[in-house]
Amino acid sequence: MAFRDTSSKIIIKTIEQIEGIRASSILASQALKEIEPFVKPGASTEYLNSICAQFIKDNGAIAATLGYHGYPKETCISVNDVICHGIPGKYELRDGDIVNIDVTTILKGYFGDTSKMYLVGEVPEHAQKLVKTTKECLNIGIQQCIEGNSLNNIGYYINKHAVANGYSTVYEFCGHGVGIKFHEEPEICHIAEKGTGPLLKPGMIFTIEPMINAGKARSKVDRKDGWTARTIDGKLSAQFEHTICITKGEPYVLTDIEHAYPIPTDIF
Ligand code: MF3
Ligand code: CO
Ligand code: CO
């Protein structure tokens, strides 16, 4: 099958750019950590957004989503059947909700993009399993981020794991190159054909952000707000996102602040 060769448009970042993107990525991840104690029953998504917005501002950065193609808020907050691009608003979290918060920062001109799931109060086991499997899907995708590997192996193995657990993979929203701009080449599909796409090279930076659905894969965008993407069948959806830099060795997860990565000196 023919595919579009976009490898020539993929920016190979310099060490200086990688360091800048890393700093922005750390800040975005810290916002997700900062917000954690506030994600409780009764908290409105607007309130959670305002805390993240303040944190980003206090650290000398800009929230990349605000005004992006007219998007009105500093974060995306997607609850239950919302796949992505949920607009923070009056909705108050309830016991049993699962919620994704997605933060994109611009620090000194560099973009960092990450999201994770939060469990609100007591969450039913089937929802917990979806969240756990989605995190595994992201990690499986990251394991494919090895120099010389085909880009689409990321999506191939992500979808394989989702299907093995009885879930489906959203194909209408993808990961993306990131760092100098919000959305750069290449597109990272989370369901893809094995062995296709450009080959991974050191200095490439992109997100992996699988959206995994409990039911059907299809999404529908809210007609009124033009953003909120929901599952077509009303079933749950989960998502995790990291920003990854390809190196000549192990993948460098720029938005991971849990494991204290040193800046690899051997990226190239
Ligand atoms: N942060 C999202 C991503 O991971 C993009 C949000 S764009 C917005 O790509 F306009 F909806 F905020
Ligand atoms: Co992204
Ligand atoms: Co994001």
pLDDT tens figures, 96-126: 999 999 999 999 999 999 999 999 999 999 9
Q: pLDDT-derived band of residue 227, with 50, 70 and 90 as boundaries?
A: very high
Q: Which residues, chain by chain, have CB under 5 Å from ion ligand 2? A: 113, 207
| This model's pTM is above 0.95 | yes
Residue among 45, 68, 101, 219 whose CB has most ligand 1 atoms within 8 A, to mutate: 68
249 CA from centroid of ligand 2 (Å): 23
Q: Which domains does the chain have, with CATH numbers?
A: 10-253 (3.90.230.10)
Q: Is the CB of 184 under 6 A from ligand 1?
A: no
Q: Is the CB of 113 under 6 A from ligand 1?
A: yes
Q: pLDDT-derived band of residue 6, with 50, 70 and 90 as boundaries?
A: low
Q: Which atom of ligand 1 is nearest to the CA of 68?
A: 10
Residues 8-47: pLDDT tens digits? 799 999 999 999 999 999 999 999 999 999 999 999 999 9
Give the pLDDT score at 5: 60
Residues 54-113: pLDDT tens digits? 999 999 999 999 999 999 999 999 999 999 999 999 999 999 999 999 999 999 999 999
- Calpha distance 107→115 (Å, rounded): 17
264 vs 14 pLDDT, higher one: 14
Whether 254 and 107 have beta carbons less than 8 Å apart is answered as no
Give the pLDDT score at 1: 45
